[in-house]
Amino acid sequence: MILVFGSLNIDLVAQVPVIPGPGRTVLAPSYRTHFGGKGANQAVAAARIARPGRVSMAGRVGRDGFGDSAIENLRANGVDADRVIRADEPTGCAFITVDQAGENAITVASGANMTARAGDLASELFNLDTVLVLQMEVPFAHALEAARRTAAASGTVIWNLAPVPEQMTREMVTELLAVTDYLLVNEHEARDAATAIGLASADYEAASAGLAKSGNLTCIVTAGAQGALAVTVEGTRLRAPAQRITPVDTTGAGDTFVGAFAAMISEGVSLQRALEVSCEAAALKCLKAGAQTGMPMRSAMGSLA
């Protein structure tokens, strides 16, 4: 079972000529509403690629219409949402601007996501078959507790270190690495994590190698047009190329990679194969607007045909 413990948001997306900097205002002709939150995104991406009935989402939403919609959307995408709990805080909301090149800037109001608790997760969820997927949009202490419970049950922990906290301490990264099997980061996150624990990080490859060795794990770096790199604890490096595309919207591409990777790991495929499938899924997502609406179904994946 793939268990995603993380955030659920409603995304409000505006297409703009340029992403505004400090003190600037830009006008957008309209806006679109999408389902988001890194946790929910990754759950949907995994469910669209994994075998049916393999993905469950745990987190919290508000007692509001956005919360109703978020739960209904998970179920419509084949995600078990029975472990999504109502909170007194409002459902999380993300405000996203997308420029003409498809790049994005995002502000997130966390709301109910900050009330998510590891105690919401029943003991029977953790076993040898559990693939736990984590991010950094719910309280770190509770994500860490869920990871420890998974590790104690000999399950697999996939931790996407995103978004990087502004106050990311050495202790935080050390604790995270100790309970993680696969650390998924982009180039910047790899360097930030390496720097936090005192490793030289001249480039993301050196950073990922240091993180893999320090955490006794496999570190996977998504590097945009350069594809993906995996470095094992032994120092073995595997690469998968990125497909050449003209992106429409990169929002959710990283989450698509994570969800696809979790789906492949749950099926026991090789690391190389997991990288290749995940790169294809992320590229296909970029061809459509919206964090979740563009995520590919398994039937659309050439590498899984």
Q: What is the pLDDT of residues 145-186, one digit of tens each?
A: 999 999 999 999 999 999 999 889 999 999 999 999 999 999
Q: Is 39 annotated as a binding residue?
A: yes
pLDDT value at position 225? 83
Q: Output phi, psi for 289, to 5 deg.
A: -80, 150
**Average pLDDT score over residue span 56-75:** 98
Pairing of strands 156-160, 182-186: parallel
Q: Residue 213 annotated as binding?
A: no
**Residue 305 reports pLDDT greater than 70:** no
In this predicted structure, the answer to whether residue 207 has a pLDDT above a threshold of 90 is yes
Q: Structural domains in the chain?
A: 2-8+37-90+114-294 (3.40.1190.20)
Catalytic entry in 80, 181, 192, 255: 255
Does 188 have pLDDT greater than 70?
Answer: yes
Q: Is the pLDDT assigned to residue 107 strictly greater than 90?
A: no
9 appears as a binding residue in the annotation: yes
Sign for the CA dihedral angle at 245, 249, 254, 256 comes to negative
Residue-wise pLDDT tens digits, 231-251: 999 999 999 998 888 888 888
Q: How far is CA 214 from CA 175, 183, 197, 211, 219, in A?
A: 11, 12, 9, 5, 10
Q: How confident is the model at residue 40 (pLDDT cuts 50, 70, 90)?
A: very high
255 is an active site residue: yes
pLDDT at 224: 85
The answer to whether 11 is annotated as binding is yes
Among the ranges given (144-148, 194-198, 290-294), the one the predictor scored with the smallest mean pLDDT: 290-294
Q: Is 268 annotated as a binding residue?
A: no
3-state SS assignment for residue 277: helix
Q: Would the pLDDT of 113 be above 80?
A: yes
The mean pLDDT value of the chain amounts to: 94
- What value does the mean pLDDT take over residues 124-132? 97
